[in-house]
Chains A and B, each alone.
Chain A
Amino acid sequence: MTEILLMTHVLFGVACMIAAVWLFVDVLQVSQANLARIQTISWFAAGFMWLAFLAGGYWYVIYYKVDKAIILKGPWPFAHNAIMETKEHLVIMLLLLTTYLPIAGSDNLVESKDARKLMLWVAAIVALLALAMDGEGGIIAMGVKVGLLPR
């Protein structure tokens, strides 16, 4: 059950990253035809991130201590000491950035070059930060695996 919760966290995180990339590309080609879609996808990106955050946060607070003990006793203690510690705090910034997407996306992106520029920057930062979080999550999971392997 806890593994399903963790996979849900990953699924929604990846969905957020895909939405951010989609937004970036759509804003580059913004017109009246895709403006409503851009605003919808920005809400989806924020929604996916909140779901990922809540699922991951619940798992972290309730279940992570078991994995943490395995990581710290294994050959990759940095997977917790550096990677998880940075991930759990960088992800709060990612949550704020994605929450900001629908706010920035509510401006008239067709008529305002500045609004488009801002949206592109925020979407790009979200996509890159989400990718980094995904990578950190992989390292943490690997830290648990190598901690369980016989030496």
Chain B
Amino acid sequence: MENSTISKCTIAFGLALAIACVVNSLIVVAKEKSEAVMAGMKKITGHHWTTHSAIVVLLFLGVGALLTLVKGGRGIEMSASRLIGIVVSAVAGATLIIVGFYLFID
């Protein structure tokens, strides 16, 4: 018999993925627009892109782990359709921000 559940880890890391994708695109704008942000990111690891990647990956893993612990460890409840909508919107929106920024603004 089919069920319609997805695990709390799948939901937690799916939401973390969406958040990290959007933050990724916002960091692009921040570092390209602010010399201070760019210099700061270069200083941390020696290259701005290495720092950028590390921040986003750690954000994904950290937020995902935290979201599995909410509600006394039961995690967030959400339908798969809603989660798919959130992930697809975040990836599409982040892509538009990054591509749009480099094509039209920078």
Contact = CB atoms under 8 A, between A and B. Distances in A.
Interface of A: 53, 57, 60-61, 81-82, 85-86, 88-90, 92-93, 95-97, 99-100, 103-104, 106-108, 111-115, 117-118, 121-122, 125, 129
B84 interface: yes
Contacts, number: 103
Contact of A115 (B10, B28, B103): B10
A60 B49 CA distance: 9
Contact of A97 (B5, B46, B91): B91
Could you tell me the dominant secondary structure of chain A's interface residues?
Answer: helix
Contacts of B79: 114
Interface string B37-61: 0000000001101101100110010
B103 A121 contact: no
B91 A104 contact: no
Contacts of A92: 24, 52-53, 56-57
Contacts of A97: 17, 91
B76 interface: no
A107 B56 contact: no
B67 to A, nearest CB: 12
Contacts of B28: 89
Interface in B63-78: none
A129 B70 CA distance: 32
Given A61-B50, A114-B79, A106 B6 contact: no
A139 B50 CA distance: 23
A111 B49 contact: no
A92 B83 CA distance: 20
A89 B24 contact: yes
B57 to A, nearest CB: 7
A57 B95 contact: no
Nearest to A83: B102
B106 interface: yes
